[in-house]
A and B are shown apart, each in its own frame.
Chain A
Amino acid sequence: MKLLLKLAAKNLYGAGRRTWLNVIVLSFSFLVIIWHKGLLNGWDRQARNDMVNWEVGAGQYWQSSYDPYDPFSLTDAHSNIPSSFDTLLTKGEVAPVLITEGTIYPGGRIQSILIKGISSDQKVLKLPTEKFQKNDDEIPALIGSKMASDNGLKTGDEITIRWRDTHGTFDANELKVIGIFTTNVLTVDAGQVWIPLDRLQKMMGMPGEATILICGNTSEANLKPEGWKFKSSEELLKSVTDLIKMKSVGGIVLYVILMSLAMLAIFDTQVLSIFRRQKEIGTYIALGMTRSQVVGLFTLEGSLNSVLAGLLAAVYGIPLLAMQASRGLSFAGASKDYGLVLADRIFPVYSLGLVATTIIIILITTTIVSYLPSRKIAKMKPTEALRGKLQ
Chain B
Amino acid sequence: MENSTLISIEALKKIFPTSGGKFTALNGINLTIGKAEFTGVVGPSGSGKTTLLNIIGSLDTPSEGRAVVLGQSISDLNVKQAALLRRSKLGFIFQSYNLLPVYTVFENVEFPLLLLKLDESQRKKMVLESLEWLGLTDKIKSKPAQLSGGECQRVAIARAMVKKPEIVLADEPTANLDAANSHNILKTMVQLNNELKTTFVFATHDDKVISYLKRKISLIDGKVLKDEIIKN
A residues with CB within 8 A of B:
3, 6-7, 10-11, 13-15, 279-280, 282-283, 285-291, 293, 381-383, 386
Contact = CB atoms under 8 A, between A and B. Distances in A.
Contact of B98 (A7, A288, A386): A386
Interface stretch (B100-108, B147-155, B213-221, B222-230): B100-108
A288 B102 contact: no
Given A10-B107, A286-B86, A383-B54, A3 B115 contact: yes
Nearest to B96: A279
A13 B102 CA distance: 8
A283 B98 CA distance: 6
Contacts of A381: 60
Contacts of B84: 288
B59 A383 contact: yes
Given A10-B107, A383-B60, A290 B100 contact: no
Given A3-B115, A10-B107, A286 B59 contact: yes
Given A383-B59, A386-B59, A287 B102 contact: no
Contacts of A286: 57, 59, 86, 92, 94, 98
Given A282-B98, A381-B60, A383-B59, 18 more contacts: A3-B117, A10-B102, A14-B101, A14-B103, A280-B98, A280-B101, A283-B99, A286-B59, A286-B86, A286-B92, A286-B94, A286-B98, A287-B86, A287-B115, A289-B87, A383-B50, A383-B54, A386-B59
Interface in B50-95: 50, 54, 57, 59-60, 79-80, 83-84, 86-88, 92, 94
B111 interface: yes
Contacts of B102: 10-11, 13-15
B91 to A, nearest CB: 9
A86 B33 CA distance: 107
Interface in B141-178: 159
The residue in A3, A283, A291 that gathers the most chain B C-beta atoms within 10 A of its C-beta is A283
Given A289-B83, A383-B59, A279 B112 contact: no
A287 B92 contact: yes
A27 B84 CA distance: 39
B169 to A, nearest CB: 9
Contacts of A382: 59-60
The residue in A13, A285, A286 that gathers the most chain B C-beta atoms within 10 A of its C-beta is A286
B164 to A, nearest CB: 14
Nearest to A286: B92
B1 interface: no
A6 B60 CA distance: 29
B179 interface: no
B11 interface: no
B100 A280 contact: yes
B114 interface: yes
13 contacts: A3-B115, A11-B102, A280-B98, A282-B98, A286-B59, A286-B94, A287-B87, A288-B88, A288-B112, A289-B83, A290-B79, A383-B59, A386-B59
Given A286-B59, A288-B112, A383-B59, A279 B83 contact: no
Contacts of A3: 114-115, 117
A66 to B, nearest CB: 73
A249 B50 CA distance: 60
A286 B84 CA distance: 10
Interface in B95-147: 96, 98-103, 107, 111-112, 114-117
A287 B112 contact: yes
A386 B60 CA distance: 12
B179 to A, nearest CB: 25
Given A14-B101, A280-B100, A280-B101, A287 B59 contact: no
A287 B167 CA distance: 13
Which 5 residue pairs spanning A and B have beta carbons closest together?
A14-B102, A288-B87, A283-B98, A290-B83, A288-B86
Contacts of A279: 96, 98
A383 B50 CA distance: 9
Contacts of B103: 10, 14
A40 to B, nearest CB: 42
B116 to A, nearest CB: 8
A13 B2 CA distance: 47
Nearest to B55: A383
A287 B101 contact: no
A293 B79 CA distance: 11
A291 B82 CA distance: 11
A261 B117 CA distance: 39
A382 B79 CA distance: 11
A282 B159 CA distance: 15
B181 to A, nearest CB: 21
A282 B95 CA distance: 13
Contacts of A280: 98, 100-101
A282 B88 CA distance: 17
A286 B87 CA distance: 8
A288 B54 contact: no
B223 to A, nearest CB: 21
Contacts of B59: 285-286, 382-383, 386
B170 to A, nearest CB: 12
A244 B100 CA distance: 52
